[in-house]
């Protein structure tokens, strides 16, 4: 049921009651770059990659309700520059070595970097020391690639009912932790079929021994760029 329309980069976009700007845009097959948003979870507004200007003010489009007559700017050089900078921050805060990463070609962070025209990391890498957790028999945790989107935290709590993951620390020291006395994934009830395993947009939560099973050319973003997926996606947007 259409409730009204707003203007996104000069185009009329219809919205339903309760929809955010991002949801309405994706439903209209318009891509707004985003990382922590997932159509199956309550919007979170933490990564800020989906920032747009609403009537001239920067807002997170994933948490801002769509309203009649809003003037929304998204695909502008200024906003895309800011988004690109945010993505570059994420690359240098972790250890993202796409050339040897098994998620290369199916990683939302990498695909978003491409969509935003990111050609280099620009900032000095921090090279944090983050050992992997291989204690679980079927799942590997590679903290090097975490972007703190909290999708696994939300999926494990809201869908799986296990609350395996949480974030700890503040600011630059914020990091993903495992809710177990030992801190090890092997001491949790996480299993390969869990939503928390499926939902990781980067290469942190990995099914073991899967690796490079998908050949180059058949990986998700080999087939189409992330903005093309959004254009073709069912209502609600891309995971």
Partner 1 sequence: MTTLETAAKPEGLRRIAIDPVSRVEGHGKVTILLDDQRKVHQVRLHIVEFRGFERFIQGRPYWEVPVMVQRLCGICPVSHHLAAAKALDLVVGAKTLTPTADRVRRLMHYGQILQSHALHFFHLASPDLLFGFGSAPAKRNVVGVAAAQPELARQGVLLRKFGQEVIRVTAGKRVHGTGAVPGGVNKHVTRAERDELKAALSQVLEWARAGVQLISRLHLANRHLYDTFGTAKSNLLSLVGARGALELYDGTLRARDPDGKILFDGLDCQQYRSRIAEEVKSWSYMKFPYLSALGPEAGWYKVGPLARVQNCDVITTPLAEAERAAFRDAFDGAITHAPLAYHWARLIELLHAAELIARLLDDDALSEGPLTATGPRRAEGVGVIEAPRGTLIHHYKVAPDDLVTMCNLIVSTTHNNTAMNEVIREVARAELDGREPTEALLNHVEVAIRAFDPCLSCATHALGQMPLLVDLVDAQGLLVKQLRRDSP
Element (H, E) at 232: helix 226-232
Q: Does residue number 100 form part of the binding site for partner 1 (CB under 8 A)?
A: yes
Joined tokens for residue 233? 């996606």
Choose among 59, 70, 74: nearest CA to 26. Answer: 74
Q: Does residue number 212 form part of the binding site for partner 1 (CB under 8 A)?
A: yes
Q: Which stretch binds partner 1 (CB under 8 A): 9-17, 151-159, 175-183, 202-210?
A: 202-210
Q: Does residue number 129 form part of the binding site for partner 1 (CB under 8 A)?
A: no
Q: Which stretch binds partner 1 (CB under 8 A): 4-12, 106-114, 190-198, 206-214?
A: 206-214
Q: Does residue number 211 form part of the binding site for partner 1 (CB under 8 A)?
A: yes
Interface pick for partner 1 out of 17, 208, 232, 234 (rule CB under 8 A): 208
Joined tokens for residue 35? 């990382």
Residue bearing tokens 């009537």 = 55
In the complex with partner 1, the residue whose CB is nearer, 27 or 109, is: 109
In the complex with partner 1, the residue whose CB is nearer, 23 or 104, is: 104
Q: Does residue number 140 form part of the binding site for partner 1 (CB under 8 A)?
A: yes
In the complex with partner 1, the residue whose CB is nearer, 81 or 212, is: 212
Distances (CA, A) of 226 to 46, 106, 116: 20, 10, 10
Residues contacting 20, CB < 8 A, separation 6+: 43, 61, 62, 63, 64, 65, 66
Residues contacting 43, CB < 8 A, separation 6+: 20, 22, 37, 60, 62, 63
C-alpha 194/C-alpha 151 separation (Å) is 12
Shortest separation between residue 226's beta carbon and partner 1, angstroms: 20
Q: Does residue number 125 form part of the binding site for partner 1 (CB under 8 A)?
A: no
Site residue total, partner 1 (CB under 8 A): 21
C-alpha 17/C-alpha 231 separation (Å) is 22
Question: If DSSP codes are grouped into helix, strand and coil, which group holds residue 54?
Answer: strand
C-alpha 144/C-alpha 91 separation (Å) is 10
Shortest separation between residue 211's beta carbon and partner 1, angstroms: 3
Interface pick for partner 1 out of 210, 224, 235, 236 (rule CB under 8 A): 210
Interface pick for partner 1 out of 65, 71, 117, 132 (rule CB under 8 A): 132
Q: Which stretch binds partner 1 (CB under 8 A): 70-78, 128-136, 152-160, 164-172?
A: 128-136
The contact set with partner 1 (CB under 8 A) reads: 99-102, 131-132, 134-135, 140, 206, 208-218
């Amino acid at each position: 049921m259409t409730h009204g329309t707003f203007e996104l980069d000069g185009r009329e976009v219809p919205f339903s009651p309760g929809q955010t700007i991002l949801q309405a845009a994706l439903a209209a097959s318009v891509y707004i770059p985003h990382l922590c948003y997932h159509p199956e979870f309550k919007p979170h507004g933490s990564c800020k990659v989906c920032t747009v200007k609403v009537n001239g003010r920067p807002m997170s489009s994933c948490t801002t309700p769509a309203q009649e007559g809003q003037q929304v700017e998204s695909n502008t050089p200024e906003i895309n520059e800011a988004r690109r900078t945010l993505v570059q921050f994420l690359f240098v805060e972790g250890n993202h070595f796409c050339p040897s990463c098994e998620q290369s070609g199916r990683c939302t962070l990498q695909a978003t970097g491409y969509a935003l025209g990111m050609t280099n990391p620009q900032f000095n890498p921090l090279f944090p020391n983050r050992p992997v957790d291989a204690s679980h028999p079927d799942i590997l945790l590679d903290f090097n690639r975490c972007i703190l989107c909290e999708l696994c935290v939300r999926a494990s709590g809201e869908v799986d009912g296990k609350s395996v993951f949480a974030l700890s620390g503040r600011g630059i020291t914020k990091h993903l932790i495992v809710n177990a006395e030992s801190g090890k994934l092997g001491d949790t009830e996480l299993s390969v079929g869990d939503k928390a395993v499926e939902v990781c947009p980067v290469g942190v939560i990995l099914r073991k021994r899967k690796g490079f099973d998908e050949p180059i050319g058949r990986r998700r973003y080999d087939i189409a760029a992330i903005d093309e997926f959004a254009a073709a996606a069912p209502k609600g947007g891309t995971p």
